[in-house]
Amino acid sequence: MSVSTLMIDGHEVAMAAGATLLAAAREVGITIPTLCHLEGLSPVAACRLCLVEIEGSGKLEPACITPVLEGMVVRTDTSRLQDYRRTVIELLFTEGNHVCAVCVANGHCELQDRAVDVGMDHSRLPYRYPDRPVDLSHHLFGLDHNRCILCTRCVRVCDEVEGAHVWDVGWRGEHCRIISGLNQPWGEVDSCTNCGKCVQVCPTGALFHKGDTAEEKHDDSSQLVALVRARQARQVAP
Amino acid sequence: MPGVPSACSADSGAEVGGEIAAEKEQSFEALESILRQHQRSPASLIEVLNLAQETYRYLSDDLLRHVARNLELPFSQVFGTASFYHLFCFKAPARHSCTVCTGTACSVIGADRLVEALEQELGIRLGRSKADGSIGLGSVRCLGTCGAAPLVVIDGLVAKQQTVASVLEAVRSLRL
Amino acid sequence: MTPPAPLCLRCCTSAGCLASGAAELREALQRTVSRLELADRVEIRGVGCLGPCSQGALLAVDPDGVIFAGVRAEDAAGLIAALVHRSVLEATDGQWRPLAWTPATGERLDTRRPFFAHQRRVVLENCGLIDPERIEAAIERGAYDQLRRAVQDLSPVQVVETIRCSGLRGRGGAGYPTGLKWATVAKMPGDHKVVVCNADEGDPGAFMDRSVLEGDPHRVLEGMAIAAFAVGASRGFLYIRAEYTLAISNLRRAIEQANRHRLLGQSLFDSGFDFSVELRVGAGAYVCGEETALIHSIEGKRGTPRPRPPYPAEQGVGGLPTLINNVETFANVVPILREGADWYAAIGTTSSKGTKVFSLTGHVRWGGLLEVPMGTSLSMIVEEMGGGAPEGFTIKAVQTGGPSGGCVPASELDTAVDYASLQALGTIMGSGGMVVMDHTTDMVGIAAFFMEFCRDESCGKCVPCRAGTVQLHGLLQKHLAGDATAEDLAQLEALCHMVKDTSLCGLGQSAPKPVLSTLRFFRDEYVARLKPVAAPSTGVAP
Amino acid sequence: MNCNLASSTAGKLRLATVWLAGCSGCHMSFLDLDEWLIDLADRVDMVFSPVASDIKDYPQDVDLCLVEGGVANSDNLELILQVRERTRTLVSFGDCAITANVPGLRNRLEGAEPVLRRGYLELADGNGVVPHAPGIVPELLPRVLPLHEVVPVDLYLPGCPPSAARIRAFLEPLLRGELPAMEGAAMIRFG
């Protein structure tokens, strides 16, 4: 297996070819902010939070999907990147209704954490205050579109890991919305196995357990990572 | 000229519930040949939806379920794909359709004046239909006949170099 | 005396002239000819675009070679009568006479005018001459001869080499060297490859591809087949936007006819080379002009782009190596093979070879379809050939490249039209849409128009484009309403650069270009509208 | 942003707090500073505050003002314009001032009229009436606006409410004429 050596923020690192810049950075203790990325799910490079600068290329590249190459020189924390990352977070906050105070994920939300990382003490962009519905038709879980940032982790986990493909993205552009079944209430979708993986991987307060109230959402995706690794191991082993 | 497809003016965020007029159990047999022609491959979804809308005028829930089952695709993927494209609509289009081209050439020569006049005349916003289902006011980005700018398509017929007067006259002649 | 050459009335029946009643005109001519039993001496032929669409409906008379504009069905009887009268006079004294006739409300066009004289019709050489509904008409003009030559006498490498030496670059807008793209796909392993023709042509105000597909569909199909032979592909898709209904029906018929004549399908010219073309109709999504979105649409999915690499050349339709080129790019392949790479390389400039088809629209006296050598100046196209702005108006700017392009101010009109020069002005060649704007046009309004377009057409997958275009459009509307402060203007510019640098695909990366371009050349129109900082903004947030 | 907080009139720093479209939670959290308030009182002049002084009109030459709540009605608007004019350093104090927060939930109803109709007519028991008392009951603005969308704001102190510890860590540097380090979850986490 060939190995590529590269520089990340002045640190030298050697990685197996095909590994991502994100993994390479983590190897030398550098955390690049991510939101739509989740280990165990296919990368989509949609949130653009993990963009890094690569010497010799005019374009910014997403670390979650760009493979390491021999001799790459990568900058992960320039002032331009910091400003762009803060703008991505502001775009997300102003696009939805992220009222942290009354949110089920308050204190346990990856969007909230990233807002702290990028130093957002206020949004420089005006809030849109869109009118979005809440779906409480499922007997165990709820979906609050006001908190949804369209990272599509729920769509991917339901398709790639559970295999039920209950979720998908409907419409286009700013009208995009996560839909279940034939744009039916979640509770009416009979292909749903009630497994709750989507709730587990949702980074914000969009998907939650009924009964949880403000600050009570405690889901983490380590269980999913273990499940996917176990399956991969099973497929590899004879 | 073959009828110009006009985006039926379903709202982009329309809720699709069961409240559409009672849909008698249709067999959609007109789709059978195209489904066979493409060996029911999932890649033919958009081709099938194009023919479905041409034949049945809009994509009802039952029609989408029929297509999803035949192509063995998840309902959410079928609806997600159908709702992505501007020309597919999920509610019965109005009896008449009035579509204003809002492409660059038409806009530069005054398409927005036509839209304002029509919105006022019909009492509806662009992209909506009249409550009584008589007419839908839609827009299309460019039909590629910019020599005829500004251009309005009424019930599939292209009318060129339109003015506020000519457009209102054309709509009034429909006797809604 | 040899019987006089048969008269041919070429009636433009492309979508543009149909909107001016060309179908009714053609029927009236046919009825008159059959009523007077002249069918053997006067041919009524429906043809593709003759050029100046704004002067429609257009009619050309052969062998005179004269073109009449603004012809209506009511003129049919008068025209036939004038032709008959002339042939009677010629029969008596054998003297040739020009046709003494003009349409009631139209005019006779002087084909020496700049609009025609400065054109160099390479891609459009058959367009307007042959009847696109009859494959025999195309075959008489040499259609599929180059495919036969390639398949029988040349090797795939030779074909790729010819294209590379010709200097042909992609006509979709980016201008990627076509030979290099073909070579990349040709090198890919595996014997299942795909060729895709991108006929989405989503730029509003652009109809070059429509005209070529309506007027000479076999030119594009043959170009695709030659490309397939060169890269080793056996399956082809032509992805066309749903709004082009006439082009779709012409293409369906052309593909059927080509299959029947065994010019497409299995073992072409008994050479064992197979190539079949499938038509795929879009359903209204501008983003599907982007390569990877187009592939997803062909696969029956939502037209959302994906990150690259892997490029379509490595993994395209169904994961197979895929060559994607624009309609006009494929339409250049046949003349290059027929006349040779050097002939083609002699046309145009050092870095932009060959010709370019433009659709000239907006505030211009003579709008329509025209093909000029690369390097022709914008003023030649807009002022000479297009006749400049209508009476009493002056040209303010020309917009090229549609929603991903920019504006060229009147002061820069002497700029040559090629990839490099337009890029230097902050716009792009784009697919060829060219919208002329006069002094009544509000440039901030134009920037807002294109941003609203990108906001509506964004696929919604990546944050900077989905949410950024909404905020940019809001900021532009705030400027238009006179509510913006200098701080808002600074934020508009900063957000433009952020969306340009961080968006996943070309749509988001280019959406800010019209704003940055109008800021560069018409900044005063933004500043003039700014509100003094003292007055607080009590307006509602957009 | 001007932050030379040395009080213009040689005396103590002139501090004010103002309460717009908020629930007063931020002011309650301010009072949770408990005994440190006494220390604070020594070092500042409380020139205007709904909880700490009876002065009715906002004074001139205020050095530092903590403004809780967004701008929801015509009174809020009038007051904030006045505060901005008469204050050197304006602080957006708490999530409502920074994002309109919970009061801003009405913004999705596009305008004041649907809000009043919903609140006073549809939910009333049949004989509700929309309040209309110019000069007494302020008119609702179409939307509740975050402070910085109405007037330039110098510093932001997120939180719902910002804890007393965070308020103290914010004020202490300012009392020394320095800028607080607004970074990390302890200082800028919303909610």
pLDDT tens digits, one per residue of B79-137: 999 999 999 999 999 999 999 999 988 988 889 999 999 999 999 999 899 989 899 99
Which element (helix H / strand E) includes C358? strand C355-362
pLDDT of A192 over the 50 cut: yes
For range C476-485, the mean pLDDT: 96
pLDDT at B17: 39
For range C272-284, the mean pLDDT: 95
A63 CB near a chain C CB, below 8 Å?
Answer: no
Q: What share of chain D in percent tops pLDDT 90?
A: 82
Instruction: Give the span between the Cα atoms of C292 and C286, in whole angstroms.
Output: 13
Could you tell me which chain B residue has the CA closest to the CA of A172?
B84
Say yes or no: C233 and C145 in one domain.
yes
pLDDT at A132: 96
The answer to whether position C539 is within a domain reads: no
The CATH code belonging to domain A83-221 is 3.30.70.20
pLDDT at A232: 85
Determine the residue type at C527. Answer: V
Say yes or no: C210 and C315 in one domain.
yes
Instruction: Give the span between the Cα atoms of C475 and D128, in whole angstroms.
Output: 40
**A116 neighbourhood in chain D, CB within 8 Å:** 184-185, 188-189
User: Who contacts A196 (Cβ-Cβ below 8 Å, separation ≥6)?
Assistant: A140, A141, A209
Say yes or no: C339 and C360 in one domain.
no
CATH code of C183's domain: 3.40.50.11540
| CATH class label, A3-76 | alpha beta
- The pLDDT tens digits for B156-176 are 888 888 999 999 999 999 877
State whether D81 and C536 contact (CB < 8 Å): yes
DSSP string computed for C217-283: HHHHHHHHHHHHHHHT--EEEEEE-TT-HHHHHHHHHHHHHHHHTTSSBSSGGGSS--BEEEEEE--
How buried is D71 (Cβ within 10 angstroms: 0-12 exposed, 13-18 middle, 19+ buried)? buried
Phi, psi dihedral angles at A94 (to 5 degrees): -80, -15
From chain A, which residues contact B within 8 Å (Cβ)?
159, 164-172, 175, 177, 179-184, 189, 191
State whether A129 and D188 contact (CB < 8 Å): no
A136 CB near a chain C CB, below 8 Å?
Answer: no
Chains that touch B (3 or more CB pairs under 8 A): A, C
Phi, psi dihedral angles at A124 (to 5 degrees): -80, -10
Which element (helix H / strand E) includes C296? helix C291-298
State whether D142 and C540 contact (CB < 8 Å): yes
Least confident stretch, A217-221, C55-59, C505-509: A217-221
B72 CB near a chain A CB, below 8 Å?
Answer: no
pLDDT at B148: 82
pLDDT of C258 over the 90 cut: yes
Neighbours of A162 (CB within 10 A): 17
State whether B79 and A180 contact (CB < 8 Å): no
Chains that touch D (3 or more CB pairs under 8 A): A, C
pLDDT of C532 over the 50 cut: yes
Confidence of residue C89 (pLDDT cuts 50, 70, 90): confident
- What is the largest distance, in Å, between two alpha-carbon atoms of chain A? 57
State whether D84 and C536 contact (CB < 8 Å): yes
- Report yes or no: A55 and A94 within 8 Å, Cβ to Cβ: no
How buried is B167 (Cβ within 10 angstroms: 0-12 exposed, 13-18 middle, 19+ buried)? buried
State whether D150 and C538 contact (CB < 8 Å): yes
Confidence of residue C99 (pLDDT cuts 50, 70, 90): confident
Instruction: Give the span between the Cα atoms of C293 and C506, in whole angstroms.
Output: 11
**C540 neighbourhood in chain D, CB within 8 Å:** 141-143, 145
The answer to whether position C541 is within a domain reads: no
- The pLDDT tens digits for A134-186 are 999 999 999 999 999 999 999 999 999 999 999 999 999 999 999 999 999 99
Residues 86-115 of D with CB under 8 A from A: 92, 95, 98-102, 104-105, 107-110
Taking Cα atoms as reference points, which of C336, C296, C345, C220 lies closest to residue C228? C220
Average pLDDT, chain D: 92
Peptide bond before residue B150 is cis, with ω within 30 degrees of 0: yes
CATH superfamily of the domain spanning D13-107+140-180: NADH:ubiquinone oxidoreductase-like, 20kDa subunit (3.40.50.700)
In chain A, domain spans: 3-76, 83-221
* Shortest Cα distance, chain A CAs vs residue B84, angstroms: 5
Say yes or no: C90 and C197 in one domain.
no
CA dist C368 → B44, C19, C107, C206, C403 (Å)? 36, 14, 17, 10, 20
* Numbers of helices and strands, H then E, in chain C: 21, 14
Taking Cα atoms as reference points, which of C433, C369, C367 lies closest to residue C406? C433
Instruction: Give the span between the Cα atoms of B144 and C150, in whole angstroms.
Output: 34
Residue among C288, C462, C475, C537 with most chain A CBs within 10 A, to mutate:
C462
Give the tokens for residue C275. Answer: 């190539």
pLDDT of C537 over the 60 cut: no
State whether A121 and D108 contact (CB < 8 Å): no
Say yes or no: C320 and C373 in one domain.
no
Say yes or no: C340 and C389 in one domain.
no
- Report yes or no: D130 and D120 within 8 Å, Cβ to Cβ: yes
User: Which of C380, C410, C435 is a domain's end point?
Assistant: C435
User: Which of C410, C435, C460 is a domain's end point?
Assistant: C435
State whether B79 and A181 contact (CB < 8 Å): yes
The CATH code belonging to domain B96-172 is 3.40.30.10
Q: Is 0.90 topped by the overall pTM?
A: yes
Taking Cα atoms as reference points, which of C61, C49, C62 lies closest to residue C22? C49
Say yes or no: C232 and C313 in one domain.
yes
Q: Do chains B and D touch (3 or more CB pairs under 8 A)?
A: no
Q: What share of chain C in percent tops pLDDT 90?
A: 81
pLDDT at A90: 98
For range A111-121, the mean pLDDT: 96
E-strand spans in A28-107? 51-54, 60-62, 73-75
Confidence of residue B146 (pLDDT cuts 50, 70, 90): confident
- The pLDDT tens digits for C325-382 are 999 999 999 999 999 999 999 999 999 999 999 999 989 999 999 999 999 999 999 9
Confidence of residue A225 (pLDDT cuts 50, 70, 90): confident
Confidence of residue B13 (pLDDT cuts 50, 70, 90): very low
Report the residue from B61, B64, B83 with minimal CB separation from A170. Answer: B83
Phi, psi dihedral angles at C326 (to 5 degrees): -80, 160
Instruction: Give the span between the Cα atoms of B143 and B104, in whole angstroms.
Output: 11
Say yes or no: C451 and C395 in one domain.
no
Say yes or no: C176 and C319 in one domain.
yes
Report the residue from C536, C537, C540 with minimal CB separation from D143. Answer: C540
Instruction: Give the span between the Cα atoms of A204 and A207, in whole angstroms.
Output: 7
Taking Cα atoms as reference points, which of C281, C517, C300, C480 lies closest to residue C404? C517
Instruction: Give the span between the Cα atoms of D32 and D27, in whole angstroms.
Output: 9
- What is the largest distance, in Å, between two alpha-carbon atoms of chain C? 90
State whether C205 and B160 contact (CB < 8 Å): no
CA dihedral A53, A56, A57, A60 (to 10 degrees): 0
DSSP string computed for A87-138: HHHHHHHHHTT--GGG-TTTTS-HHHHHHHHTT-SS-SS--------EE--S
pLDDT at C539: 39
A228 CB near a chain C CB, below 8 Å?
Answer: no
User: Which of C413, C435, C457 is a domain's end point?
Assistant: C435
CA dist C502 → B144, C464, C492 (Å)? 31, 7, 16
State whether D101 and A103 contact (CB < 8 Å): no
Confidence of residue C474 (pLDDT cuts 50, 70, 90): very high
pLDDT of B5 over the 70 cut: no
Could you tell me which chain C residue has the CA closest to the CA of D142?
C540
Instruction: Give the span between the Cα atoms of C249 and D125, in whole angstroms.
Output: 63
Does residue C453 sit in helix, strand or coil?
A: helix
In chain D, domain spans: 13-107+140-180
| Nearest-5° Cα angle at A136, A130 to A140 | 140
B163 CB near a chain A CB, below 8 Å?
Answer: no
pLDDT of D2 over the 70 cut: no
pLDDT at C534: 58
Residues 157-186 of D with CB under 8 A from A: 157-158, 160, 182-185
pLDDT at C504: 97
Which residue range is the domain that position C463 belongs to? 444-527
- The pLDDT tens digits for C111-170 are 888 999 999 999 999 999 999 999 999 999 999 999 999 999 999 999 999 999 999 999
How buried is B18 (Cβ within 10 angstroms: 0-12 exposed, 13-18 middle, 19+ buried)? exposed
- The pLDDT tens digits for D91-131 are 999 999 999 999 999 999 989 999 999 999 999 888 889 98
pLDDT of C451 over the 50 cut: yes
Say yes or no: C32 and C159 in one domain.
no
Say yes or no: C216 and C160 in one domain.
yes
Taking Cα atoms as reference points, which of C458, B67, B83, B48 lies closest to residue A183? B83
Could you tell me which chain B residue has the CA closest to the CA of A159?
B74
The answer to whether position C126 is within a domain reads: no
The answer to whether position C118 is within a domain reads: no
D150 CB near a chain C CB, below 8 Å?
Answer: yes
pLDDT at B21: 42
- Report yes or no: C515 and C496 within 8 Å, Cβ to Cβ: yes
Per the structure, how many domains does chain C have?
4
Least confident stretch, C150-154, C308-312, D30-34: C308-312
Interface confidence (ipTM) of the complex: 0.93
